[in-house]
A and B are shown apart, each in its own frame.
Chain A
Amino acid sequence: EAQVTQNPRYLITVTGKKLTVTCSQNMNHEYMSWYRQDPGLGLRQIYYSMNVEVTDKGDVPEGYKVSRKEKRNFPLILESPSPNQTSLYFCASSLSRTGNSYEQYFGPGTRLTVT
């Protein structure tokens, strides 16, 4: 089944404790992206990756890191989480960002609480 998976689905952590949220897709998609969703603010793009080893900032990259060493994986790293990073996080992928392949497939989401 074609899908985007995220782990963990739920996470409660404390301020300053490094964490990684994994994202994996099995569709051989070139493009992957991370979003956070907050009430009243909607989905906001954190980072995106056009392909392996190619990443760039979205609208809200502060406090986050990403890497793209393999095509299928795009982990989101919070080096020192703070309470304002409490949010619902979504990973998404699409075949490419050129041509006619803009449709994004989203993962199920990771609900992160930082206390």
Chain B
Amino acid sequence: SQKIEQNSEALNIQEGKTATLTCNYTNYSPAYLQWYRQDPGRGPVFLLLIRENEKEKRKERLKVTFDTTLKQSLFHITASQPADSATYLCALSTKGGYQKVTFGTGTKLQVIP
């Protein structure tokens, strides 16, 4: 069956360090993958999108990689700040099924001052 896995354990890192979050998937042929940020009690906010034919995407302190061979995406936040503390969700859409979106369960990031 199709599955998207994010590290369910919370990730605690020191301010200023690089946070790396993982999104693994099985039995998918994703056309593209998105990363969202969600704060408690609020709706997710879009951060980055990467397509199957792209290896890497950057936006300010954020970087996403996409390895379709490993079936994995990595999400990096460089020079992390306490304000980056939130839950981060990855989401997949497949070829021919762009309308359907499947989310991972998210990883909670805590940046410690």
A97 touches B34 (CB 8 A): no
Interface positions of B from 86 to 113, Cβ below 8 Å from A: 89, 91, 93, 98-106
Segment with Cβ contacts to A, from B11-19, B37-45, B54-62, B73-81:
B37-45
Is A31 interfacial (CB-CB < 8 Å)? Answer: yes
Contacts of A104 in B (CB 8 A): 34, 36, 44, 46, 101
Q: How large is the interface on A (under 10, 10 to 19, 20 to 34, 35 or more residues)?
A: 20 to 34
Taken together as a complex, chains A and B put the C-alpha atoms of A90 and B33 apart, in Å, by: 20
B1 to chain A, nearest CB (A): 11
- Beyond A102-B34, A102-B49, A106-B44, is A45–B98 a contact (Cβ under 8 Å)? no
Which of B32, B45, B93, B106 is the one whose CB lies under 8 Å from A42? B106
Could you tell me the dominant secondary structure of chain B's interface residues? strand
Could you tell me the dominant secondary structure of chain A's interface residues? strand
B102 touches A45 (CB 8 A): yes
Which of B36, B41, B49, B99 is the one whose CB lies under 8 Å from A48? B99
Chain B residues within 8 Å of chain A by Cβ, number: 23
- Beyond A90-B44, A109-B42, is A31–B99 a contact (Cβ under 8 Å)? yes
B binding-site residues for A, Cβ under 8 Å: 8, 32, 34, 36, 41-46, 49, 89, 91, 93, 98-106
The 6 lowest CB-CB distance pairs between A and B, nearest first, are A106-B43, A42-B105, A43-B103, A103-B46, A97-B98, A97-B99
